[in-house]
Amino acid sequence: MTTPVRHPPFPSLVTASQMQALDRRTIEEYKTPGKILMERAGKGVVHVLEQQFGSHSGQPVTIVCGKGNNGGDGLVIARLLKQRGAKIHVLLLAQPKDLTQDARGMYQRLRRVTPSSTIAIAPSAAAIHASTHKASLLIDAILGTGLSSAVREPYHTTIKSMNDAQAPTIAVDVPSGIHSDTGAILGLAINAHTTVTFGCPKIGLYIGKAVNHTGNIQTVDIGIPQTYIQELDVKLHLLIPESLVGLLPQRSQDSHKGTCGHTGLIAGSPGKTGSAALAAQAALRTGAGLVTIATPQSAQASLDAKLFEVMTLGMPETKSRTLSRTALKPLLAFAKERDAIALGPGISTHVETGKLIRQLLPTLTQHCVIDADGLNVLAEHLPLLSSCKNIPILTPHPGEMARLLGHTSAHTINQDRLGFAQNFANTHKVILVLKGARTIVAHPDGQTAICATGNPGMASAGMGDALTGVIVSFLAQGLLPWDAARAGVCLHGLAGDLAAKQLGQAGLIASDLIDHLPHALQYAWLSCREHAKT
């Protein structure tokens, strides 16, 4: 009998206080001493850096430690690297007597295996500069998750010196200077090449300005019981490829195009057929059996020339060659014959087209995705959303989100992406996909997911159209809206990462991402199987 593949859950994103509670329960109830957790954390960091950089035997490594448990983790790392032959230099930014109990124990263990000359206690600014600038690798174990106010001296000078150095920095748990709950930069923060966080990923690593400082984020298991994490009843989760397979539709051996979902797109207008074409191609590449685009008659020929596997249906149009209000009846008939509908890419904000969309939306019986101009024509008409027969999925970027809300700006939205997404989803009873660096998916009941995939190369025209196609494809294949939105966002970002790995970020375009969607599906399956083996 074949052993089924275990689908790992999406990791919980926790606050500093929640993580402290988990640590405390593990120590007090599970009877795991704090020094054991600290040892596991240090070993986890060393394992990650060896995976990424190889052996540092004979290489100069500077480990910068604060007085808290984060510094204790750094002292463990220093000892383990010393045992592996690295030329370590520890900058201890406190007196040994001021260290926490567990950190003091790790300091004493380090002293037993290395001469005192390798440890600089409360070093001067000149000594910090010299040590950080001669290292081949830097370890940031300064401040951790407890920081809640602006970075003070000597930490400010130390962080600046580390950022000015040429060597890559590994941040321990959280890059020093970042608020671990909000992602805010508290004056100055480490620019990490990699962040190795412990137990559960921290919310602040994925939101706010922190996304520019964390680098590659790796989570290390230090032995926190899963039951303790589950009992927190966290409503905020991280979307990662390893967990994606639990959401993806699966095909039976007797599948055919009629059983894999018929996706309908209401999209396009002359000069904007590219949006419709990208969404359609993305839907096919994500597994939709059939895709049909309903578009103004004047745009149909252009789409037919662009697309070979996609069907088109011409609709009545205005004098400006956008969808006309007389298209309402044929669009309703069109929608009833499809398994899911996406509307908005490239339809324009023509007054009559806007009225059509606002008439159409409350009458749709299929699950739907609303994007681009479909969102823009809803501005000042948000009560319509509550009249939808099924919970709709909205996919705005910050500019579209600002237009939906009115009297705000994209800049303001980006100051509190998590809060705006959660509030909008709850107020208007929709699933809200707020696109951008670390896309957020919010459910009306408060469940929220932040996507770990994606990269700056995806800041390019058409990427949102591709996302619309991915999500509506999953809806047409039978996924519920919440699952389709999460799976679509994660897979879309993963495809962008795979495309960037092959082509680089600069010059990445939406069609590159679409071409990598099948590879992303395969990658997710392989990642899940590798997780199952471990």
Q: What is the pLDDT of residues 386-425, one digit of tens each?
A: 999 999 999 999 999 999 999 899 999 999 999 999 999 9
Which range has the worst mean pLDDT, 245-254, 352-361, 392-401, 463-472? Answer: 245-254
**Predicted local distance difference test score (pLDDT) of residue 8:** 64
Q: Distance between CA atoms of 447 and 438, rounded to whole angstroms? A: 16
228: CATH: 3.40.50.10260
Q: How confident is the model at residue 533 (pLDDT cuts 50, 70, 90)?
A: low
Q: What pLDDT, on a 0 to 100 scale, did the predictor assign at position 142?
A: 98
Residue 243 phi/psi, 5-degree rounding, is: -100, -5
Residue 500's φ and ψ, nearest 5 degrees, are -65, -35
φ, ψ for residue 307 (rounded to 5)?
Answer: -120, 135
Assess whether pLDDT exceeds 60 at residue 15. Answer: yes
Residues in the chain: 534
200 with 271, same domain?
no
Domain-embedded: residue 8: no
Please state, in angstroms and rounded to a whole number, the distance separating the CA atoms of residues 353 and 299.
Answer: 15
Same domain, 296 and 167: no
Residue 461 inside a domain? The answer is yes
Residues 220 and 257 in one domain: no
Q: Is 7 contained in some domain?
A: no
pLDDT at 2 over 90: no
Say if residues 322 and 295 touch (Cβ distance below 8 Å). Answer: no
- How does pLDDT run across 179-199, given as a tens digit for each residue? 999 999 999 999 999 999 999
Integer Cα distance of 169 and 179 in angstroms: 18
Rounded Cα distance between 101 and 75, Å, is 13
- Token pair 């057929």 is found at 273
Cα atoms in the Cβ-side hemisphere of radius 13 Å centred on 492:
36
- The answer to whether residue 125 scores a pLDDT higher than 50 is yes
Domain endpoint, select from 193, 214, 234: 234
| Residues 47, 167 within the same domain | yes
Condensed to tens digits (0 to 9), the pLDDT of residues 491-515 reads 999 999 999 999 999 999 999 999 9
**Mean pLDDT value across residues 453-480:** 97
Strand order in the sheet with 169-172: 119-121, 87-92, 60-65, 137-141, 169-172, 194-198, 216-220
Q: Do 76 and 154 sit in the same domain of this protein?
A: yes
Average pLDDT over residues 94-115: 96
For residue 360, pLDDT beyond 50: yes
In a domain, 193, yes or no: yes
Q: Which of 261, 258, 214 is nearest to 238 (CA)?
A: 214
**Is 1 a member of any domain?**
no
Q: Which of 234, 260, 284 is the C-terminal boundary of a domain?
A: 234
Residue 10's alpha-carbon distances to 204, 452, 455, in angstroms, are 17, 11, 20
What pLDDT shows up at residue 527? Answer: 78
Do 206 and 278 lie in one domain? The reply is no
Give the number of domains in the chain: 2
For 328-475, strand residue ranges (E) read 340-343, 367-370, 393-394, 431-434, 440-442, 448-451
Question: What was the pLDDT predicted at 1?
Answer: 30
Give the model's pLDDT for residue 438.
96
Residue 386 CB coordination number (10 Å):
11
- In this prediction, residues 50-74 reach a mean pLDDT of 96
Q: At residue 342, what is the residue type?
A: A
Q: How far apart are CA 308 and CA 281, in angstroms?
A: 10
Q: Are residues 169 and 250 in the same domain?
A: no
Domain boundary among 234, 260, 283: 234
Q: What is the mean pLDDT of residues 233-260?
A: 90
Token pair, residue 518, equals: 């099948």
Q: Is the pLDDT of residue 5 over 50?
A: no
Range of the structural domain that residue 25 is part of:
16-234
Could you tell me if 182 and 280 lie in one domain?
Answer: no
pLDDT band with cut points at 50, 70 and 90 for residue 245: confident
**One domain, residues 354 and 431:** yes
CA distance 135 to 297: 65
393-394, strands of its sheet edge to edge: 236-239, 448-451, 440-442, 431-434, 393-394, 367-370, 340-343, 262-266, 290-296, 311-315
User: Burial letters for 163-185: b for 16+ Cβ neighbours within 10 Å, e otherwise?
Assistant: bebebbbbbbbbbbbbbbbbbbb
Q: For residues 468 and 341, what is the distance between their CA atoms, to the nearest angstrom?
A: 10
| Position 531 confidence tier, pLDDT thresholds 50, 70, 90 | low
Asked if residue 287 and residue 155 are part of one domain, the reply reads no
- The reported pLDDT for the residue numbered 528 is 67
